[in-house]
Structure 1
Amino acid sequence: MSGTEKAMQGVADTLREFWAHRPVRPRAGRKLGGVATGIALRFQIDPVIVRIAFVALALSGGVGLPLYLAGWLLLPEEGDQVSPLESLLHKGHSSASPTTTVFVGILMFPALAFMFGGNGGFQVFVTLGAAAACIYLLQKNRGHLQPATTLPDQPTVATPPVPGAPAWDPLGAAPFAWDLPEPAPKPQPPAPRPRKSRIGATTLGVAVLTVAASAILGAWVPWFTAAHTIGLVLGVLAAGLLVGSFVGGGRGLIWLMIPLSVVGFGMTAVDFDFDSDTRISSYNENPRFVTDVKDRYETSVGSVTLDLRDLPDSGEVKTAIDVELGEAVVHVPKNADVTFRCEASSIGELDCLGKRAEGSSVAVDGRDLGNNGEGGLKIDLDVRSSVGEVRVLRD
């Protein structure tokens, strides 16, 4: 057997061992389905780290949502013979009702659609691979540990001593010795001071070097943006948390990882198309002649208000408004023939000559001939906002 075949066989054996001794979802100490708490108890790590990992995965293209639901379906609950999904297939008893199991299974469909429906297909597969690698490393390095019976932050309840019993016999098992003097306590050597972990500082150092290297790379590679830098830094922080879960330390990285995850999610989910020619401001335009109307009005952050009510009653006007983050408002004359298309490409609210829509990736279009029917000034509008409000008003 070649070295590659042996390595693959070792990976397969580790995954089979993980399934045979998979985590059990506890009934106490869990926040939702007990998946994160069960993983923490199985591998004796802080449950906060596991919960933060699921949140980070949820913000990385929505990967954490189907993974958590899969754990809910495939991990048995404390005291059950099999998992909810296996019970639904009549392979044993589970305390989860079939209705609950089916409901969680139905939730998998929108979760998977959200995960694969965006533009980050490659990112999704990379994140899934990283999650599988984390599970493999946990089983490889901590699979031999016995599952903890209590959470790390819950004290173990000791058996109360029998009243009157000496400290060396708290259960009162030797009544004949009750009159014996208490044994002198042995002097205990001073406990060594715990060595401060350097995982956090080392990870932060690597993260700073990553930012510096990304800045140099961005100067030479046009497509390498700030979103890529944030993704690399999140990967470094996640690796630091993973190592810290084995050797201790690094929990402070969580408070840096959370805001970076939110910023990275916003930069990838919302299509901001900034360039050096766009304006970051709010302004009003009130042209009085057809020739004064520009072909395009745009801004990155702010609002654009275009008032066409002072235009003459004849002629043709065609213009577009593009706002990345903010509001786009167009006022048209009462008698103009208006052909319009309004769009919120990421998320927003539309109100265009009586047609309304709100939500994610919404658009409306149509033609409105005004109060006097067809004839007179003709206006062709294309109004877009990536995130914000779009209105075309006749007033």
Structure 2
Amino acid sequence: MNESSKSSALGGIEDTARDFWATRPVRPREGGKIGGVCVALGRRYGVDPVLLRVAFAVGAFYGGAGLLLYLLGWLVLPKEAEASDGRAHRPTSTPVVVFILCMLLPLSFIVWDFAGLLGLLAGVTGLYLLHRHRSEKQAAVDTSSPQATTTDAPTGHTWVYPGTRTAEPEPEEQFERRDPPAWDPLGAAPFAWDLPEPGAPEPEPEPEPPVRRSVTLVTVGLAMLAGGVGFAVGMAPAAALATALGVLGLGMVAGAFLRGGRGLIGFAVPVAVLAVAFSLLPTGPWRGVSDTVVEPTTVQEVRPSYEASVGNIELHLDGLPLSPDGAPLRTSANVGLGNISVYVPENVDLQVTCSADRGHVDCLGSERGGRDLRESAEDLGADGPGGGRMNLELEVGTGNVEVHRV
């Protein structure tokens, strides 16, 4: 992306944010459940408030992001004023502001994890797209409210049969029409002089399109709910994303029968990419990134364990002077994402265990590839028993494990 594209993109986001703040919705005095944030957004953008309530409820499972966004909306969106105030709206009352701030304080500490940041990003992006594409839309005014009933609509002329009594017209209506209508150029019907000119026939109303099944909207909501519940109960990110991906897949199958849900592909692709990425990343505590090559010359230089979250570990143990009657040399290596290669003497008595969650193992000639691999081998070397002993524990999350005699 060049500099002009970056500046135009940033300018579009800034303009949208400024326009949202200038035309932000007003929370109604009546009709809201708690605070009226969903009703205000629904009326402003022509969206059913029930769908917005579902979205905030689902977002609450993402580290409390939905609750945090709702409280922020309650805080910054003004409230509709009383009719006697003479104002269109007024700011949030002081007791409510104090209550919201007390709620925001603990939420601000618990929302800063992966699930919370994901929920905040989804909420802010959804509001941005909603304002970007539906800022000109407005929900229909509720006709049951007193403000919706007006009496200023103009009334047309009403023909009265001759000889009947009627109310006296207003002073401005006490005039006679001098020019006959176009359909009576000779003025043969004086009683019809006050009739309006015939207008063009009104077009027949077009048939309303059939109600579209919101397969995409419902499926995305269920997928977010499934993923959020997975995060809430402590599932690994890859497992929670896989659960959401499964719900999206079921939605696409249902959409094939209901002729909808094509938009689910755009959601399924990034979720699948994230699920694969998190499944490959190492789990457990972070042990850093390293590319370690160890070439000890004495047994004392060998550490009990070698660890790395990402990287490679290469152990050259073939030059160690091992005592035939001494204690066995014990060491281990663990890598989350990477490779482990170990080189041992030709005549050493070796006991080794090679394991990998996914990848490939070559444990003294015994090779396997795939998932959940574990190979154990015990080999006395070319000369049989004697020549020293080694016990090795080698494990990778995603990668390769190799043990070779030199």
TM over 0.5: no
Q: Normalised by the size of structure 1, how large is the TM-score?
A: 0.42
Q: Normalised by the size of structure 2, how large is the TM-score?
A: 0.41
